[in-house]
Amino acid sequence: MAKTTKHKIILVCENCLNRNYSLTKSNLTQKERLEVKKYCPTCDARTLHKESR
């Protein structure tokens, strides 16, 4: 059976610290933590979301 290189990650809002999004990420191609501007329903604005540990 082949090993999968995709791992599930959770994105956390920088302002309110809510966990809004979950994505899959390949650890072989992306070594650094993911940072994306996404919409946060709690803040009602586009804020920076970072990958949680």
1 inside domain: no
Q: Is the dihedral of CA 48, 49, 50, 53 positive or negative?
A: positive
25 inside domain: yes
pLDDT digits (tens, 9 = 90+) for 5-53: 888 999 999 999 999 999 999 888 888 899 999 999 999 999 999 999 8
pLDDT of residue 24: 92
Q: Give the separation between CA 41 and CA 46, rounded to whole angstroms.
A: 9
pLDDT of residue 1: 60
46 inside domain: yes
Q: Give the separation between CA 53 and CA 47, rounded to whole angstroms.
A: 19
Domains: count for the chain: 1
Whether pLDDT at 3 is above 80:
no
pLDDT of residue 30: 84
43 inside domain: yes
Query: What is the span of the domain harbouring residue 12?
Result: 6-51
Query: Rounded to two decimals, what is the model's pTM?
Result: 0.80
